[in-house]
Amino acid sequence: MFDGFIRDNAAWTPRAPAVILPGRRYSYAAFDADIDRLGSALAERGLGPVCGVVAVAIASPYLQLLTMAALARLGICGAPGADPGADLRLTDSDGLGEGPPVLRLTPDEVTAILAAEPRFDLPQLELDPDALGHVMLSSGTTRSPRRVGLTWRRLEAGNHANLRSYAAGKAGTWAPVTGVDSMLGFSMSVAAWSVGGAVAWGFRIRDIPALMEQVEPGIIGLTPRQLRELLTVLPDGFLARPEWRICAAGALLPAPLAHEARLRLTPDVRIIYGSTEASLLAVGHAADLEEHPGLVGRTPAGAILEVVDDDGRPLPDGETGEFRITSERMSQGYLDDPEASAERFRDGWFHTRDLGRRLPDGRLILEGRVDDRLNLGGLKLMPQVVEQAAYAAGGVADCAAFAAPGTDGVEQCWLAVVAAPGGERDRLAALLAARADLPPVHLAWIDTIPRNAMGKVERGLLRGQLLAALLGGDP
Amino acid sequence: MFDGPIRDHAGWTPRATAIVTPGGTFTYAQVNADVDRCAAALAELELRPGQVVSVALAAPYIQLVATAALARLGVASSPAGDWGADARLSDAHLSDGHVPPGGSPEGSSVHRIDEAWLRAMYAREPRPWPSRAYAPLDLGRVMLSSGTTGRPRRVGYTWRRIEHGNHLSLRSYGGGRLGAWIPLVSIDAMMGLTMAMCGWAVGAAVTASFEADDLPRWLERLESGIVAMTPIQLRRVLDALPPGFRPTPRWRLMVGGAVLPPETAREARARITPDIRTLYGSTEGGAGGQGLASGLDDAPGQVGITPSGAIVTIVGEDGRPVPEGQSGEVRIRGPRVIQGYLGDPEADAERFRDGWYLTGDIGHRLPDGRLVLEGRRDDRMNLGGLKIMPAVLEAAALSCPGVRDCAAFAVPTPDGLDACWLAVVAEPGFDGGRLTRHLAGHGDLPAPRYAWTRDIPRNAMGKVDRNALREAVLAATRPPAAGKAPDV
């Protein structure tokens, strides 16, 4: 499927860059020819759709992209290297851990394959639209990742939605900082190739400012945490590049961070609210965060998103409930996990476990995870409400609210805070205490907020650390 | 489906332009509100999902709004020609004009969309019409295939097929483009519908009712985007370029509907923009080729590669694929191909076989994968056993200096064999003998008879009307019947 986009552009714009790596560029013609070379070599080693799901555990950035596309050209379902349920792992390293069977391509073999004369073009396959095209791993915050199967049709429908929402009108260079094994990174790569753009891959965050000055502007996809890091490493005197678009995904984008990015990087900062299971749920403008913290935008056409109460009944605009979604660009369940599937996929809806509400104009406000909801002895509260109050008070660089039991066993509200330079601790405590809409908030001052790879706060870890500290008598 | 992006962009960029007509500019917020108003008004006419409603509204803005409003209701729309005395096919008909003779056929209804109706509709409160879930295999749009002969055939698109086509356009010529999207044909033609839907999909400004003669000033005035037109319209644009017109290289021109003559392409690349692409497709089979106009220099008739997602093969008269490089009929299969005409099993049997759509186009493939079109199967001349495509003779004639336009066609002779004719538009004072000598130098071409004319008849899509030429020759050469004056 998406290998076809590369072949098309190899005919229309053969000399345009398809892949930009640190220090090297590959044109569409070169990339397409390499896909045929590698695809032929893999077919000779017996790889085909009957092999099932093939995980790409390849460290070399170019070879990783090449392998993804070559598998698609052979009609084989690809997967991230870490997929525990894959039928085969393709790798270029010799130190893979336990897991599915391994097919290793040594660097010498790869060199020989890519140096060979292209013997033949692989034919364009007629794919069964309902067959699996790719497996993604959903970012489970606690459990082992769940496997989400994307059919070829679902990949097409998802790409179409991307092209008419966050990517509308953009070509140029697309830099998926979240990695091509993430849903955002994978779909950005496919989308870039579908419009003849270049995928910039293998760059560290500190290389991004130079990239923004050197290549044709396009889209940078990252998590809020990576955006924070990008702003930290931004050289003095960096002139904002308004032709670039920044797309933040994976966690809520804090309004102050968005504000700084709009001033220092580009005014065109978008919020992507998506999930591996349901593709795009909403796309919004970061500028709107000033007025509505937690805003994630509106649902692109083709999907129906509802806000429902605990019994699954739709709620009126303005009331908080769980988001559920149905669309053509949605998966139908997890692979090999009927229990999780039954829990999250019901009656044609995917239940996101995200809590939020809808504004009268249709924009969605995300308040947090159902599982994060603090239950303070019966008082239910989203941690984001406390966190946003802390940011609004000022002097806070980062923070996360969580619950921990008090001496009486009743859960108390805690806020882990990383102070901004010059932030006054007493002032924050006083301002939070003055908020009539908040319960008493205990403050814990720490150096960093623990987050997972996608930038989501690990509240369980905070709770554990706090309890250990309290038990140890060291507040 | 295609009303959805209008709502999306009304949310993201409410003040951006959604529609430009020669008379006005309308933002996404305005258009979306009008689509909501119109949907509410149409719902009161008992139009419901499952029906096909033809839209015969001449004013461009309301034509677009009504079509999007039907989609918002989940009702399939169809062009104006899908209803009338000869084609009572749609279930209902929105008309701003008179009711066709014969009145309203049984089981269908005509709704007058007159000024009073429009005034009442625009005066409504724009209540957001709820987003609906579409059954992907339900009918979303009916198009009429541009049959060169006989009555048009009805092509039904499911919502999924509409999405699929939209995705293809976005990932081929529309990728990374905003600005103004200018179709020089209406949404009743495939190219116009595709352009409008794709322009809205990315939040661009879609124009309606723009004329080729006015295009030069729009190219200077609007934010650069895409223009879609037929070769004949491109010729008109070139003729309308004012003296001293400076090229506008940020625009992209898409030319489809007929093969783009290399000379026209070269002139347009130099005088308008170097970014010119060719589109080859059909209502039934979707996009079959997309190429760069610059590729016409070394391969006249080339229409580019087949965009991924469809399979195209060239087959001989026995229906089997021909060896690479040989001529044959172009056939196509894949998710962009419809499965048959609506209510026309006879035509289905003729054009659809084993999942393939037989395009009726004759062509061959170059070693680099590009398709070269030679003409229509129905146009192929059989001159007493010598088979030749008109395009071969036309290309040779056009390379003769002084020949401006021409069309080859076959005309039956009294002995039962077909004779080859060439209608020629030449520069004033052109010496016909020069063309005869020129063609004689081309080897094994048949020597045509000449019909000198002022212009070549073409249909709206720019395709030569060879039947008209044949009839004209027959009328002119037929001996007058006894006792009757010759036809005038």
Q: Average pLDDT in the B194-220 region?
A: 95
- For residues B454 and B430, is the Cβ–Cβ distance under 8 A? no
The whole-angstrom distance between A419's CA and the closest CA on chain B is: 35
Secondary structure element (H or E) that encloses residue B40, with its range: helix B28-43
Q: What is the pLDDT of residue B232?
A: 86
> Taking CB atoms and an 8 Å limit, are B167 and A285 in contact across chains?
no
Sign of the dihedral defined by the CA atoms of residues A268, A269, A270, A276, in that order? positive
> Taking CB atoms and an 8 Å limit, are A163 and B201 in contact across chains?
yes
Interface test with B, best of A8, A296, A299 (most B CBs within 10 A): A8
> Which of A156, A164, A298 is closest, CB to CB, to B11?
A298
Tell whether A301 is within 8 A of chain B (Cβ): yes
Sign of the dihedral defined by the CA atoms of residues B446, B447, B453, B455, in that order? positive
Q: How many residues are given for chain B?
A: 488
Tell whether A292 is within 8 A of chain B (Cβ): no
For residue B483, pLDDT over 60 is answered with no
> Taking CB atoms and an 8 Å limit, are B167 and A163 in contact across chains?
yes
> Is the ipTM of this structure higher than 0.90?
no
What is the pairing mode between strands B328-333 and B311-315? Answer: antiparallel
pLDDT tens for residues A308-322?
998 899 999 999 999
Tell whether A467 is within 8 A of chain B (Cβ): no
Name the band, by pLDDT with cuts 50, 70 and 90, for residue A378: confident
Helix, strand, coil: what percent of chain B each, to 5? Answer: 30, 25, 40
d(CA B228, CA B281): 13
d(CA B201, CA B167): 9
Instruction: Read off the amino acid at residue B170.
Output: L
- Give residues 248 to 287 of A whose Cβ lies within 8 Å of B: 283-285
Q: What is the pLDDT of residue B96?
A: 83
- The number of C-beta contacts closer than 8 angstroms across A and B is 116
Name the residue of chain A whose CA is nearest to B306's CA: A8
The whole-angstrom distance between A326's CA and the closest CA on chain B is: 8
> Taking CB atoms and an 8 Å limit, are A195 and B290 in contact across chains?
no
Name the band, by pLDDT with cuts 50, 70 and 90, for residue B488: very low
> Taking CB atoms and an 8 Å limit, are B308 and A361 in contact across chains?
no
- Chain A residues with CB inside 8 Å of B133's CB? 304, 326
d(CA B268, CA A85): 56
d(CA A181, CA A203): 15
The residue among A236, A227, A293, A288 whose CA lies nearest residue A260 is A227
pLDDT tens for residues B421-447?
999 999 999 998 999 999 988 877 888
What share of chain A has pLDDT > 70, as a percent? 97
Q: What is the mean pLDDT of chain B?
A: 89
Measured from the Cβ of residue B85, the count of other Cβ atoms closer than 10 Å reads 10
d(CA B236, CA B212): 6
- Chain A residues with CB inside 8 Å of B202's CB? 163-164, 168-169
> Taking CB atoms and an 8 Å limit, are A157 and B333 in contact across chains?
no
Is the pLDDT higher at B130 or at B459?
B130
pTM: 0.86
Q: Average pLDDT in the B149-157 region?
A: 79
- Chain B residues with CB inside 8 Å of A285's CB? 12
Q: Average pLDDT in the A182-199 region?
A: 96
Q: Which residue blocks in A312-412 are alpha helix, DSSP H? A: 338-344, 383-393
> Which of A8, A283, A328 is closest, CB to CB, to B305?
A8
Name the band, by pLDDT with cuts 50, 70 and 90, for residue A132: very high
> Taking CB atoms and an 8 Å limit, are B203 and A168 in contact across chains?
yes
Name the band, by pLDDT with cuts 50, 70 and 90, for residue B98: low
Question: How is residue B294 annotated by DSSP?
Answer: G
* CA dist list (Å): A157 to A129, A180, B34, B136, B220: 11, 19, 28, 12, 36
Burial A139-171 (b: 16+ CB within 10 A, else e): beeeeebbbbbbbbbbbbbbbbbbbbbbbbbbb
For residue B191, pLDDT over 50 is answered with yes
